Amino acid sequence: MKEYWNEKFECMSLREMEEFQLQCLQKTIDRVYRQVPFYQKKFDEIGIKPEDIKSLKDLERLPFTVKTDLRDNYPFGLCAVSMPDKVVRIHASSGTTGKPITGPYTAGDMEQWAECMARTLWAAGVRPNDIAQNALGMGLFTGGLGFLQGADKIGCAVIPSGAGRTERQVMLMKDFGTTVLFGTPSYALTISEKAKELGVDARSLPLRIGVFGAEPWSDEIRKEIEERMGIKAHEAYGLTELMGPGVAFSCSAYNLHINEDHILPEIIDPNTGEVQPLGTQGELILTSLQREAMPMIRYRTKDITILHREKCACGRTLVTMDRVMRRTDDMKIVNGVNVFPSQIESVIMESKKTEPLYQIILKKKGYLDTMVVKVEAKDEIYKAGEEKIKETEKMLVNRIRDVVGIGAQVIVVPQNSLPRSEGKAKRLIDERS
Ligand code: DLL
């Protein structure tokens, strides 16, 4: 059986790749300039026309696109095709405030996504005779359906178990003879813990491969998962703005290769915006090269990493990136869901029963994250007694679930009980590491 899903692109020489990238870049820049007023205005402001992009280096002359640009053009202002005629799918993820980040796809984009995900799964060792249990969220989140696209393309049997109901996950793994597991790394650990609790030895199951992503994880966690489950734990990296999972994938040497015929990476110094050479740590900037519905030009991911172009033992020539361990903003990933303190703040600010004084505490319970929100009640609420306090807590839990999409424990505390800051307020305490 073939070693690579797409040898032509995965093992292309640098010269050929750069020629291909330049052609795609020129086409994409031309298209967004003509179709998306936002880009036209930005390019006009600095006096750049699409024909000025003559080399890959010229990309550096273009301005960055940031998350707030997506918010300001919510929901479809950055679409480069007519919406909805040409769009066949819309995904979304949390934005910095109440409104999500949208990810529209044309039929062509879906095909590209399936291709990038097939490369991801194939590199992890997934083959048509595998049974893949997809324990990623299967809704607006790009994870579950993105993995499904790739698995369908390869032609393995998929169990769309979705995230959650861990006991059932273990039962399915055992009864259906699952050989491949998709999920977040933290959920993989939870599943392994549950298996143990149920007296199921995960190592003796047919499971042989895991493909995980959507949140930071260390090499130590990877080894722990491999040890507990008796599998090879592989990785997918991606973000909603750039199609979702499928941006980068790990190979047999555990290097994260970027699908650079689809997405062009750069590294910048997050403070100055200056492009950095290979081997330097900085913020990852991504440009769509083939995306039709919503191409991103120089998107600031806020993810910190390093790019390398060294010979890889797997034979792929695609550029590699280090594991993302850190972001430049305050976004936290709680059980795979992106959470911004500003979202919690917006819930607290709209409540008439609380003061704008709160603290978010993230903890680990087993391998799962938990979020506790402590908030000071208005004096009259706290003094009204237990019932009023419980009612306020319940209301906030519901609103946080609506706005952020995850459950939190809310503790309403009396006035003046939370620490006051003497400089920058530390509203978020992450006790997970
Ligand atoms: O998390 C897409 C995805 C789904 C990737 C499933 C892999 C597997 P978003 O919800 O938009 O998209 O979140 C994107 O998650 O900017 C990173 O900060 C983080 N992230 C994603 N994959 C990894 C990873 C999906 N492998 C944000 N390692 C990104 C570390 C990751 N962080």
* pLDDT tens digits, one per residue of 109-151: 999 999 999 999 999 999 999 999 999 999 999 999 999 999 9
| pLDDT at residue 421, as a whole number | 64
| CA 213 – ligand 1 centroid, Å | 6
Q: Are strands 180-183 and 209-213 parallel, antiparallel or unpaired?
A: parallel
The identity of residue 308, as a single letter, is H
Tokens of 248: 């980068």
| pTM of this structure | 0.87
* pLDDT tens digits, one per residue of 145-173: 999 999 999 999 999 999 989 999 999 99
Judged against a pLDDT cut of 60, whether residue 23 lies above it is answered with: yes
Residue owning the nearest CA to atom 15 of ligand 1: 214
Query: CA 251 to CA 237: how far, in whole Å?
Result: 12
Query: CA 241 to CA 99: how far, in whole Å?
Result: 14
List residues near ligand 1 (CB under 6 A).
Answer: 93, 136, 142-143, 213-216, 235-240, 244-245, 301, 303, 324, 327, 333, 338
3-state SS class at 137: coil
Residue owning the nearest CA to atom 6 of ligand 1: 143
- Mean pLDDT for all residues in the chain: 94
Q: Can you tell me the mean pLDDT for 176-193?
A: 92
3-state SS class at 195: helix
Q: Is the dihedral of CA 192, 130, 90, 248 positive or negative?
A: positive
Best of 142, 211, 369 to mutate for ligand 1, by most ligand atoms within 8 A of CB? 142
Third-level CATH fold of 1-328: Rossmann fold (3.40.50)
Q: Which residues contact 20 (CB under 8 A, 6 or more apart)?
A: 12, 261
Domain over 332-430 is classified CATH 3.30.300.30: yes
Which of ligand 1's atoms lies nearest the C-alpha of 101? 11
Q: Which residues contact 252 (CB under 8 A, 6 or more apart)?
A: 123, 125, 313, 314
| CA 50 – ligand 1 centroid, Å | 31
Query: CA 381 to CA 354: how far, in whole Å?
Result: 8
Exposure b/e, 307-338, CB count within 10 A at least 16 = b: beeeebebebbbbbbebbeebeeebbbbbbbb
3-state SS class at 139: coil
| pLDDT at residue 173, as a whole number | 98
Exposure b/e, 258-297, CB count within 10 A at least 16 = b: bbbbbbbbbbbebeeeeebeeeeebbbbbbbbbbbbbbbb
| Residue among 299, 387, 396, 301 nearest 348 (CA) | 396
| pLDDT at residue 98, as a whole number | 64
| pLDDT at residue 122, as a whole number | 98
Q: How many residues does the chain have?
A: 433
Judged against a pLDDT cut of 90, whether residue 227 lies above it is answered with: yes
Which of ligand 1's atoms lies nearest the C-alpha of 244? 2
Confidence grade of residue 427 (pLDDT, cut at 50, 70, 90): confident
Q: Can you tell me the mean pLDDT for 261-283?
A: 97
| CA 95 – ligand 1 centroid, Å | 14
| CA 147 – ligand 1 centroid, Å | 13
Query: CA 358 to CA 297: how far, in whole Å?
Result: 37
| Residue among 303, 405, 351 nearest 98 (CA) | 405
| pLDDT at residue 200, as a whole number | 97
Residue owning the nearest CA to atom 12 of ligand 1: 239
| CA 303 – ligand 1 centroid, Å | 9
| CA 385 – ligand 1 centroid, Å | 43
Tokens of 215: 């949140």
Q: Can you tell me the mean pLDDT for 193-215?
A: 95
Residue owning the nearest CA to atom 1 of ligand 1: 214
Place of tokens 């209301």: 395
| pLDDT at residue 281, as a whole number | 95
Query: CA 136 to CA 123: how far, in whole Å?
Result: 19
Q: Is the dihedral of CA 327, 333, 337, 343 positive or negative?
A: negative
| pLDDT at residue 97, as a whole number | 60
List the beta bridge partners of residue 304. Answer: 283, 326
| pLDDT at residue 146, as a whole number | 98
Tokens of 368: 């799962």
* pLDDT tens digits, one per residue of 274-305: 999 999 999 999 999 999 999 999 999 999 99
Q: Are strands 354-365 and 263-268 parallel, antiparallel or unpaired?
A: unpaired
Tokens of 419: 């620490």
Q: Can you tell me the mean pLDDT for 75-89?
A: 97
Domain with CATH 3.40.50.12780 in the chain: 1-328
Q: Which residues contact 423 (CB under 8 A, 6 or more apart)?
A: none
Q: Which residues contact 3 (CB under 8 A, 6 or more apart)?
A: 315
| pLDDT at residue 294, as a whole number | 98
| pLDDT at residue 330, as a whole number | 77
Q: DSSP letter at 323?
A: P
| pLDDT at residue 424, as a whole number | 52
Query: CA 388 to CA 399: how far, in whole Å?
Result: 17
| pLDDT at residue 216, as a whole number | 84
Q: DSSP letter at 331?
A: -
Helices (H), 36-104: 37-45, 67-72
Best of 141, 237, 243, 299 to mutate for ligand 1, by most ligand atoms within 8 A of CB? 237
Judged against a pLDDT cut of 90, whether residue 241 lies above it is answered with: yes
| CA 153 – ligand 1 centroid, Å | 22
Which of ligand 1's atoms lies nearest the C-alpha of 236? 7
Q: Are strands 256-258 and 320-321 parallel, antiparallel or unpaired?
A: antiparallel
94 vs 186, residue with greater confidence: 186
CB 232 within 8 A of CB 208: yes
Residue owning the nearest CA to atom 30 of ligand 1: 216
| CA 111 – ligand 1 centroid, Å | 20
| pLDDT at residue 95, as a whole number | 64
| CA 161 – ligand 1 centroid, Å | 20
Domain with CATH 3.30.300.30 in the chain: 332-430
Residue owning the nearest CA to atom 18 of ligand 1: 303
75 cis-preceded (ω within 30 degrees of 0)? yes
**Most confident among 284-298, 327-341, 410-424 (mean pLDDT):** 284-298
Confidence grade of residue 349 (pLDDT, cut at 50, 70, 90): confident
* pLDDT tens digits, one per residue of 34-63: 999 999 999 999 999 999 999 999 999 999
Q: DSSP letter at 1?
A: -
| CA 339 – ligand 1 centroid, Å | 12
The identity of residue 130, as a single letter, is D
| CA 214 – ligand 1 centroid, Å | 3
